[in-house]
Structure 1
Amino acid sequence: MGAQDGPTLIASVQRAFRLLEAVSAHENGAPAKQLARATGLPLATAYHLLRTLVHDGYLRKLEDGGFILGDKLQALHSTARGQTLLSRIRPTLAALRDELATPAYLTFYEEGEIRVAEIVDGPRAPRVDLWVGFEDAGHATALGKSVLRELDDAGRNDYLSRHSLADLTPRTVTSSSELLRRIDSSPVAPAVTDLEEYALGTVCVAVPVYCGDTLGSLGVSLPAERVSRLGDVAARLLPTANRISRSLSLTI
Structure 2
Amino acid sequence: MKPEPTTPFHSVRYVLRVLEAVSKYGGGVTEDRIARDSGLPPGHLVPLLTLLCREGYVERLADGAYVLGNAPALLGPGSARRRALEARLQRGLDELRDSVGAAVYLSRYIDGEIRVTQIAEGPLTPAVHEWVDFRSTAHASAIGKCLLTQLDRNGRREHLARHRIARFTSRTITSERLLFSRLDSRPPTVPVLDLQEYAVGTVCAAVPLTAGSTVGCLALSLPVEYAHRLRAAAETLNRRAAPMALSLTL
Q: TM-score range by the shorter chain?
A: 0.5 to 0.7
In structure 2, the partner of 1:32 is: none
1:161: Cα distance to partner?
Answer: 2.1
How far apart are residue 185 of structure 1 and its match? 3.1
5 Å-filtered alignment, 1:38-187, equals: 82-186=82-186
Aligned partner of residue 140 in structure 1, secondary structure: coil
* Partners of 1:93 and 1:212 in 2: CA distance: 21
Answer with 1 or 2: which has the greater Rg: 1
1:240 matched residue in structure 2: 240
* AA of the residue aligned to 2:184: D
Larger RCO, structure (CA 8 Å, separation 6 or more): 2
Rounded Cα–Cα distance in structure 2 between residues aligned with 1:117 and 1:142: 15
Alpha-carbon distance between aligned partners in 1 of 2:247 and 2:204, rounded to the nearest angstrom = 24
The DSSP-based 3-state class of the residue aligned with 1:199 is coil
Q: Look up the match of 1:194.
A: 194
Distance 1:80 1:165, change over 3 A: farther
Match of 1:213 in 2: 213
CA distance in 1, matches of 2:78, 2:167: 36
Contact between 1:142 and 1:206, CA under 8 Å: does it hold in 2?
Answer: yes
What's the CA shift for 1:209? 1.2
Kindly provide the CA deviation profile for residues 98-152 of structure 1, in whole angstroms up to 9, marking residues without a partner as x: 0111010111000101111011101110111111111111211101100111212
TM-fit CA distance, 1:224: 1.3
Give me the TM-score of the superposition, normalised by structure 2. 0.64
Deviations 1:199-225 (A, max 9, x none): 101000000114542211110001112
If the length of structure 1 is used for normalisation, what is the TM-score? 0.64
Secondary structure class of the residue paired with 1:222: strand
1:181–1:229 CA distance, 2 compared to 1 (3 A): farther
Partners of 1:115 and 1:211 in 2: CA distance:
16
Matched residue type, 1:217: C
Structure holding more helix per residue: 1
Q: Is the 8 A contact 1:92 1:240 kept in 2?
A: no
Letter in 2 for 1:97: R
* Pair 246,197 (structure 1): closer, same or farther in 2 beyond 3 Å: same
C-alpha RMSD of matched pairs (Å): 2.1
Gaps of 5+ in 2: 1-76
Q: How does 1:11-50 map to 2 (within 5 A)?
A: none
Give yes or no for contact 1:108–1:215 (8 Å, CA) kept in 2. yes
Number of corresponding residues: 174
Structure 1 79/205 Cα, relative in aligned 2: closer, same or farther at 3 Å? farther
